[in-house]
Amino acid sequence: MTLSQRIAAAVRFVVYPKARYEGARHSTSRSTLHGSVQAARYDIDPYTRYELVRRSRYFERNNAFVNRLADLFEQYTVGQGLAFFPASQDTAWNASALQYWRDWTKFADLSSRLSFGTLQGVIARSLFVDGEIFVLLTRGETGNPRIQLIESHRVETPPDAKGNVIDGVEIDSRGRPVAYHIATEDARKVKTYSRAAAEFVVHIFEPGRPGQYRGLPALYPVMNDLHDLDDLQLLEMQAAKDAAQVQRVIKTAEGEVSDDDLIRGTVTGSDNVERSSYYKDVFQGSAVVLKHGDEFQQFAVERPSAATSGYWDYLTAKVCAGVGIPKEIVLPSSMQGTSIRSVLDIANAFFRSRSSVIADHLKRVYEYVIEVGIQTDPTLQPSPSDWYRSSYRSPRAINVDVGRNSAAAVAEFKTGMRTLQSIYAETGEDWREQLRQKAAEIAYARDLAEEFSIDRAEIMTLDPNELASQNAADTNQ
């Protein structure tokens, strides 16, 4: 064998160094991490999703902390309701469509009990607690468009389902939902199933993975932490109750109580004085006098400890981080101005992104209602080709600062960096309505000025320098 051949043979047994990912290596000093790498539809199977929803609903009903999180989510994603406005190229038609839409929102529910704004509150809360909700586009008895909310537990795969049905969602060969199977229970818990075409169902949820057909509760990554918080509170409360039952401990010179004393029901000393009567007489007065050799000890309660309280705060912060809502918003405390502004900006970005998800889905409701209106209401005929276009107004921003943010908004508007729509949206108002209101106020002030023969700037100044300029002009004359 030549030298080159011997070198080539040796090279085959050389182990070249390579980068190591320690996070992928098993270690006996750590617990086993159970999991797999597979499609979302297999990870989020019906049982897993059902159990997460069950626990999430439990905490929302019985945990004030979770209830507060749900309240905040509802308040800052939809508020009193996302307001939609027609945005076609036909301004006159937009006015008619807006009136039709506002009339419809008063009785949006199929039962005609709830307005569209109230239904949005239910939608936002269900999105947080259940991770999803279904909106059925339907008609009332008179043919008017209506919507019906379907909770997540009602959408499931029937026992005799045919075709490709994933946890109640029927899909075609491309993975596109074509129908939803909705269960209805009677008083005897007997289920019947109906099939609703996907074009009449708005599935409101925010998928976290490709191929995910059902939503997950916002609390899913912190379920065990919430459970630990509940258990910790129960244990600490039980310890406090046990300690509260023991107020004083009396130690005597004779030592422990004998069995005979316990049987007789009396505890006596060497002087044949019944101790229960003795201590009762002693502790009734303001001055405490004990017999010689006796020791009095007050039972002290030191629960929860500082370490337990710190762990309690850590779990609370961990839950807030898992949900995405800063702890300072849930449990407000004293903070410096710069720090709290940073927290509010982070929270505002979170709520705005969640609000946009809800708005994108609810646009389908708007389109459905207007489409039915075009077919049935003469005031909407003829309709423009872009009748389906719309804009929406978000609820009031969480980080509105009357002083700092207002001055910044005015400066950005004057430089052309912002629009009236973006400015008024932060306070949950519509710029069209505000401009109309402003025009009405100016016209009314002008009429008053003419009636009393005074200058309009003395009633309403549109610019800080307006009245001063008018006074200077009057002086020069």
Q: How far apart are CA 419 and CA 431, in angstroms?
A: 9
Residues 6+ apart with CB under 8 A from 267: 257, 261, 274, 275, 276
- pLDDT exceeds cutoff 50 at 376: yes
pLDDT, residue 285, reads 47
At residue 53 the predicted structure's pLDDT band, cuts being 50, 70 and 90, is: very high
Whole-number pLDDT of residue 207: 94
Residue 165 has pLDDT above 90, yes or no: yes
pLDDT confidence of residue 435 = 83
pLDDT at 25: 83
Q: What is the pLDDT of residues 90-105, one digit of tens each?
A: 989 999 999 999 999 9
Residue 262 has a pLDDT of 46
Higher pLDDT, 275 or 222: 222
CA pair distance 366, 390, nearest whole angstrom: 8
Has residue 128 got a pLDDT over 90? Answer: yes
Most confident of 9-18, 224-233, 325-334: 224-233
Which pLDDT band, with edges at 50, 70 and 90, does 279 fall under? low
Tokens representing 185? 């229970």
pLDDT digits (tens, 9 = 90+) for 63-91: 999 999 999 999 999 998 999 999 999 98
Looking at residue 190, its amino acid is V
The band of 381, judged by pLDDT with boundaries at 50, 70 and 90, is very high
Give φ, ψ of 180 to 5 degrees: -125, 135
Average pLDDT over residues 260-284: 54
pLDDT digits 0-9 by tens, 300-319: 667 778 888 899 899 999 99
Mean of all residue pLDDT scores within the chain: 83
Q: Which pLDDT score is estimated for 431?
A: 77
The kind and range of the H/E element at 86 are strand 83-86
Structural contact between residues 464 and 477, judged by C-beta atoms closer than 8 angstroms: no
The C-alpha atoms of residue 139 and residue 53 are separated, in whole angstroms, by 30
Instruction: Please tell me the predicted confidence (pLDDT) of residue 19.
Output: 73
Confidence of residue 274 (pLDDT cuts 50, 70, 90): low
Distance of alpha carbon 126 from alpha carbon 51, whole angstroms: 16
| Residue 272: pLDDT band with limits 50, 70, 90 | very low
193 phi and psi angles, rounded to 5 deg: -120, 145
Instruction: Identify the band that residue 290 occupies on the pLDDT scale cut at 50, 70 and 90.
Output: low
- pLDDT value at residue 286: 46
